[in-house]
Structure 1
């Protein structure tokens, strides 16, 4: 992926677009009930007989709605009777007032019962309940494709599960997508909003009138980036909905729905689906927590022999050799290297002295005490020649000044990675307004991945912290301080 394309995506101020999508209308009211912003289409939707104007006070029906809302002071959906239609109003607090977004209400309620998720006991149940969730969402939303898009270490993503209706073509299951497809600026917004709907990627955005720029971070109508519109067009998608899946306020996955035709889902349905997705996510996190606890119990048993060695009163060359032998086995590493200040103990495939000098100098300066990468060449602008392709490591201070660093090394593992299109070749455009655009093909593209080691386990960070504590409690290490 070209740096120019990534830089363009990350610099977009998505929350300050100044426009909304066409499936609703927007009104921003300050704390004194004066209109500060209003979308161009407010009158066309026939929401109120008196059309709001910037600088004027709101009309009586909207004032009544806000009196109900201001007793809650949190995001909420209200019903509202317009001139000809019923509306749902997404009401969101802002630093200087309240944001109201009007969308036509559902003509009928969802009658299909949502799936229930008991406690997940194993990976098979996790897959079964996740598949139930995807199928139910496809049924109640009418979208032809529903995907569970998992974010990976490093920012790339992978479709780990997918439901596809009979009238949709192809599959994205198990395909990887580069981090730039969902740039950091967009991920930060996903972390603050439960869902994001793009109802019609082919329609023009509606301008917002008012003084200054309106922050649309929490808006459900915020317009769509031109890059993303082109991305959807290249995929043959005309509408989409994504539901955020968080773990400790960090975005870990998206549940993404695609339709080949325009489709606007009612706010009540979006909230209902979001609640069901949240329940599944809660069960999934509970199962993952249980897996971590079970893993830690296993660690305590498997590390007993190393704990005994670290309890020795003094060190010698033979003791270090035994320790390294155990560490190689426990981390499934091709080599282990231990540094104490300038002293180095190692066995197997490890960094040579020149590369160690660079990697060690970098790691000592990092704030985090553990680190994991499957491609250490990412740390340098210039490729480093080494038998080691990836490593994980931990460090700690012995006494006041002495530094211990332990590196677990793996050699190169050449393997295939399947991508949704070639991620390194966005299509160039001759348009001055849009100098680059997303790749035009999402057909399976297989990369022969070199310069990477075998992937580390998702629980390797827990293992690193556990062994770091064992070393920290070591009798003979404390005697070295």
Structure 2
């Protein structure tokens, strides 16, 4: 069925056009008629549904119907051969194409499983003459792709080779941009066709649901867009009454809207090869022909292989390009890092002393350095008041590094100063520190060439959704946009932020009277506790690289395992860093809390939910009890951190079948609540008890993986609340940790 088919009424066409973006393209209920489709139940090997053209194309008697056995449809010998091939090959991709013949006509049999069914798609094979010499030629092409030294060379080889292999009039590479639209970045076409190279296509040309299907399927082909679709018989699945999900079917019928789009573009046949990076749709190799063109499966597979290798090479060359950009910033980053470390005042004053290097680092036209709320401006910048407002907004974004080339689009107040700050690249430090560095780029008046007017894309009479009719180049003036920050510049800012954090942390430690000892201990903890996780990360990254290099298909189990290990190691590293940062804040007297009324029973309930599994693992009797209606004034997150640390330690150092009890009661005197954690463990030696709240104390046996910061941080949190944390212990009997916290004042 086509848009010109008389069976489509004007009313039906209106409905199709109005619902294009939400059209059920996965369940069209029909196929393209250049092949035939059968769906099978492998439990009894019966045919569930068939395309309406299957009887004639395969020469099957009309008395054979869906629900009959596969043997009735294909004949006993062919059915047995198919069944044996499927049962002997767990990976159906290794069978494609499965040679089959009906009435003297050769067919390629394509198999896949989905949604509980086996799909058998059959495409007639016209001739094998065009396949002569394909193997050696494909090998040469892949070698050329792997030896390409630049992305442009890589793209040019791909489009030229695919066009030569297939005979399409035009082959282009279309890359998706962050905003959703795409740009043609490479093209090979006959001289008679208009050039699309460099043109942008609006995001509405490829709806999101269509992009998802491109991500799931490496290849999509439409040999003749003027086809009349072959519906499924019966229309719905007999087993569940639902439409057949054809997401992975090669023959799946396409949207009539897309066929009309192709017609408007002057194309009668098309093929798309997906380009993926990190399992995301990076772009497409799009092939078009003015006349119908049937590309055999074997040749399509060769093109798919080119697309897969191209995807890998794009990732490799882009990563190499980013690495070169990053290395180019290395010496300047070292210079700025030294300046922060050597600054006599705040570390950020060191950046101010090297203002030109700070601008050059990311090729910015202006930079603002915010130090304890005071704004220092260098070059072309918004006013100090505007920078302060922008910094406050950035603090709400919860992103260590923020970058945009169109600041006014995400922060409307910035439109007032777009002439100096349309581009923003910034980093800030975790609260409560207000320090930040913000780089600006001025607005660049540019013209963007679109393939047709994007404002009119798919809009027609009465604002009705319809295929775009014009693809003539259309120029648009773009305002409020700066040059895009490249990956190397973003990495440079991330590296500078890390250096700033390290320098600031070192400065805080040095301010302490025991600075030398604290620094040495900090270095010892970092080198000891982070060396193993970092080593694991490096090794697993190497493993992933080897797997990716050896397997161009979906991720293997080894890769999943490596990623899981990587995540666990990274999580441990994050916990260690959080402890170190908490320690530095306590040491520098900058630890802050957000206290609020808190129901102690709720706090106990949350702790019980988290810690009970640990206790059950050791058969420990863990109990929580509190006086009724007891409320405290505390920071919920920090107080939970103290309680979970104390109870977690008690469970860790209590032998199996022991007891741990947690109680809370109003203090006999004063306005405090006393929380007590008592265990029946081995206790703490008398000579060690005075040191339990010191940094890095972890003398107790059975705690080789601890950082020695838990009790120190817990004491700092309690003190920040105005309370006190103490410990008593008797070896062979157990230990008790008690802390006080302010009680919510009782109403008179």
TM-score, length of structure 1 as denominator length: 0.87
Cα distance, 1:235 vs. partner? Answer: 0.7
1:407 paired residue number: 438
2:173 paired residue number: 148
Task: Provide the secondary structure at the position in 2 that maps to 1:424.
Answer: helix
Give the conservation status (yes or no) of the 8 Å contact 2:275–2:310.
no
Q: Deviations over 1:204-248 (max 9, x none)?
A: 222223321222221111221233222211111111001111111
2:236 paired residue number: 210
For 1:102-117, list aligned pairs within 5 A: 102-108=122-128, 109-111=131-133, 113-114=137-138, 115=141, 116-117=143-144
2:81 paired residue number: 64
1:73 paired residue number: 90
42-51 or 237-246, which deviates more = 42-51
Match of 1:86 among 106, 126, 133: 106
Match of 1:330 among 361, 384, 390: 361
For 1:193-232, list aligned pairs within 5 A: 193-208=217-232, 209-211=235-237, 212-232=242-262
Is 1:472 aligned with 2:484?
Answer: no
**Structure 1 pair 365–221 and aligned structure 2 pair: CA distance change class (3 A):** farther
Of structures 1 and 2, the one with the larger relative CO (CA 8 A, separation 6+) is 1
Give the conservation status (yes or no) of the 8 Å contact 1:423–1:439.
no
Cα distance, 1:94 vs. partner? Answer: 1.2
Q: Deviations over 1:415-474 (max 9, x none)?
A: 12111111111354459xx92213211111111221111232244333333223222322
Mapped partners of 2:183, 2:194: distance in 1: 16
Task: Provide the secondary structure at the position in 1 that maps to 2:271.
Answer: strand
Which stretches in structure 1 are left out of the alignment for 5+ residues? none
Give the conservation status (yes or no) of the 8 Å contact 2:340–2:349.
no
Mapped partners of 2:385, 2:246: distance in 1: 51
Give the conservation status (yes or no) of the 8 Å contact 2:407–2:414.
no
**Structure 1 pair 201–294 and aligned structure 2 pair: CA distance change class (3 A):** same
2:452 paired residue number: 421
Give the conservation status (yes or no) of the 8 Å contact 1:315–1:476.
no
Give the conservation status (yes or no) of the 8 Å contact 2:348–2:371.
no
Task: Provide the secondary structure at the position in 2 that maps to 1:28.
Answer: strand
Give the conservation status (yes or no) of the 8 Å contact 1:311–1:476.
no
TM-score, length of structure 2 as denominator length: 0.58
Give the conservation status (yes or no) of the 8 Å contact 2:219–2:273.
yes
Mapped partners of 2:380, 2:160: distance in 1: 48
Match of 2:475 among 411, 435, 446: 446
2:40 paired residue number: 29
Give the conservation status (yes or no) of the 8 Å contact 2:171–2:287.
yes
Give the conservation status (yes or no) of the 8 Å contact 2:325–2:487.
no
Task: Provide the secondary structure at the position in 1 that maps to 2:322.
Answer: helix
Give the conservation status (yes or no) of the 8 Å contact 1:74–1:93.
no
289-298 or 139-148, which deviates more = 289-298
1:299 paired residue number: 329
Task: Provide the secondary structure at the position in 1 that maps to 2:329.
Answer: helix
Query: If each structure's strand is expressed as a fraction of its own residues, which one has the higher value?
Result: 1
**Structure 1 pair 381–451 and aligned structure 2 pair: CA distance change class (3 A):** closer
For 1:252-331, list aligned pairs within 5 A: 252-312=282-342, 314-315=345-346, 318-322=349-353, 324-331=355-362
Mapped partners of 1:382, 1:344: distance in 2: 18
Give the conservation status (yes or no) of the 8 Å contact 1:337–1:345.
yes
Task: Provide the secondary structure at the position in 1 that maps to 2:161.
Answer: helix
1:397 paired residue number: 430
Mapped partners of 2:148, 2:256: distance in 1: 43
Which stretches in structure 2 are left out of the alignment for 5+ residues? 1-15, 509-587, 591-748
2:27 paired residue number: 16
Larger CA Rg, structure 1 vs 2: 2
Mapped partners of 1:475, 1:97: distance in 2: 61
Mapped partners of 2:389, 2:258: distance in 1: 39
1:98 paired residue number: 118
Q: Deviations over 1:161-191 (max 9, x none)?
A: 111124x321101111122222221111111
Query: If each structure's helix is expressed as a fraction of its own residues, which one has the higher value?
Result: 2
1:246 paired residue number: 276
Q: Deviations over 1:328-363 (max 9, x none)?
A: 211111222344674544333334567656654554
Give the conservation status (yes or no) of the 8 Å contact 1:117–1:280.
no
Give the conservation status (yes or no) of the 8 Å contact 1:49–1:83.
no
**Structure 1 pair 406–152 and aligned structure 2 pair: CA distance change class (3 A):** same
